[in-house]
Amino acid sequence: MLQILLIILIILLISIAIGGPIATTLGFTASIATLLFLSTGHLSYLGTTMYNNAIKPDNVIVPLFIMMAEFMAKGGIAEDLYYVFAKYLRKLKGGLAVATTLACTIFAALCGSSPATAATIGKVSLDAMRKRGYRDDFAIGTVAGGGTLGIMIPPSITLVMYGILTQTSILSLLMAGILPGLLLSFLMCASSIVRAHVNPALIGQQKRVKGRKHEESEVIYEQYDTSFFQDLLKAGPALILIAVIIYGMYSGAATATECAGLGAICAFLLVLIRGRMTRADFFKAIEATVKSSSMMILMLSAALMLTNVIARLGIATALAEMCTSSGLSPWAVMIMLFVLWYFLGCIMSPTAMVTLTIPFVFQPLTSMGFNPIWLGIVSTLCVEVGMISPPVGNNLFILKQTTGVDMGTVIRGAIPQIAVLTIGLAILCVFPQIATAIPNLMMSR
């Protein structure tokens, strides 16, 4: 069985090395493995598997959440959130960095996309931080770290993909991401404050006139010198939308798919009422939604083909038996997988990392006693690290393109955020209840 696994991995790696798209690579590997180790009759079954999974009702949640993200990104909601937070954190040392993280946290709960969060918040926050004397690497690192929250805090496209791949409750996974996402946000805010106090040069404090009262952002731009009521009008609708979606899922009043549809409609209406949605923006958002969701659903369907082949060959069961009989503790195996995920995050896209590895490791890990919901959260956290890990971290390239900062500075800024995320991973390992608390409350209701 190990020889068969090795052959499948070699086929998979060669397909990736020659530059094949991940979806094509997964489907090709599944087809070749079927021809080599099963029978030609199973090829038609693979096609049926791919088709059935592509049209599953659960998949509708993917384009709906992506559409919600596109509407929010084009509607200027992120800018409103950022400036409101910056205004009220002006007396805090490192306040703009904290405002950036908080804006990323809220926007992540509206879009579910890490690249969209990083790109949208990065455009406005980096310029504001530069005007206040923040060092480029510290400023861009704050955006890079905060942007990763988009794939942990619900609605998370990565958690949806994990749920589809492993047949784990998507609703439970989305609810499980709330506390870990808030934990990571808190750690990032605390890190920014501590670093600003330890090294004031990071926030340009050494440039301030001696004796001048320290204020981080008295008024960043004159047009945002508004009253509390006006600030509430800017940020309030987005916060209400988040609360409605989360409450709908938690209470059981609506399914995750229904909440995704509600979110997409409300996001569209919100930006339309504010006069921020033109006809061109609308069609661009729809086009981007179709492209992204088609790619993700195709990748998921191909990954499920490979999962089916692995199950039929008994590879997953053999790996589970090998892990349990190896004498290694479950945590030793888990730590080795963390190392593998960190390494893979340096050389491939995070989405590919999940779809390539979960079919092989899910059953062995759950057979060793790991909670599938907790496993989804920690795997998503490792994906977050991959988003800002050089040399191919998606957020690094997105920030370079949208801000014009050179890649070396972007990487220097991202490295401390990798350390913060790793601390968060360690906390979730020591206290797994953080990830499972809300799903358990939902089941006990």
pLDDT per residue over 294-348, tens digit each?
877 887 788 778 877 877 787 767 766 776 677 778 898 899 889 888 887 776 6
Task: Count CB-CB contacts under 10 A for residue 225.
Answer: 12
pLDDT for residue 85? 85
CA-to-CA separations, 250 to 1, 20, 188, 189, in angstroms, rounded:
43, 40, 26, 27
Please state the pTM of the whole predicted model. 0.80
For residue 301, being part of any structural domain is answered with: no
Rounded CA-CA distance 288/271 in Å is 17
pLDDT for residue 263? 83
For residue 77, being part of any structural domain is answered with: yes
210 class by beta-carbon count within 10 Å (0-12 exposed, 13-18 middle, 19+ buried):
exposed
Query: In this predicted model, which residue has the larger pLDDT, 214 or 98?
Result: 98
Is residue 202 predicted with pLDDT exceeding 70? yes
* Phi-psi sector, 73: left (phi>0), alpha (psi -120 to 50), beta: alpha
pLDDT for residue 210? 45
Q: Residues near 8 by Cβ (< 8 Å), separated by ≥ 6?
A: 29, 33, 309, 310, 315
Is residue 42 predicted with pLDDT exceeding 50? yes
Dump pLDDT digits (tens) for 429-440.
999 999 999 999
Which residue range(s) make up the domain with 437?
Answer: 56-205+213-277+314-444
Query: In this predicted model, which residue has the larger pLDDT, 57 or 270?
Result: 270
Closest C-alpha to 343, from 376, 395, 385, 299: 385
pLDDT for residue 218? 45
| Average pLDDT of span 426-431 | 95
Dump pLDDT digits (tens) for 220-262.
444 456 677 777 777 788 888 888 888 888 787 878 788 888 8
Is residue 196 predicted with pLDDT exceeding 60? yes
For residue 390, being part of any structural domain is answered with: yes
Is residue 60 predicted with pLDDT exceeding 60? yes
326 class by beta-carbon count within 10 Å (0-12 exposed, 13-18 middle, 19+ buried):
exposed
pLDDT for residue 133? 85
For residue 37, being part of any structural domain is answered with: no
For residue 4, being part of any structural domain is answered with: no
Is residue 293 predicted with pLDDT exceeding 70? yes
| Average pLDDT of span 399-404 | 78
pLDDT for residue 214? 45
For residue 165, being part of any structural domain is answered with: yes
pLDDT for residue 49? 74
Rounded CA-CA distance 286/67 in Å is 7
For residue 19, being part of any structural domain is answered with: no
For residue 120, being part of any structural domain is answered with: yes
Please count the structural domains in the chain: 1
Mean pLDDT (the chain) is 81
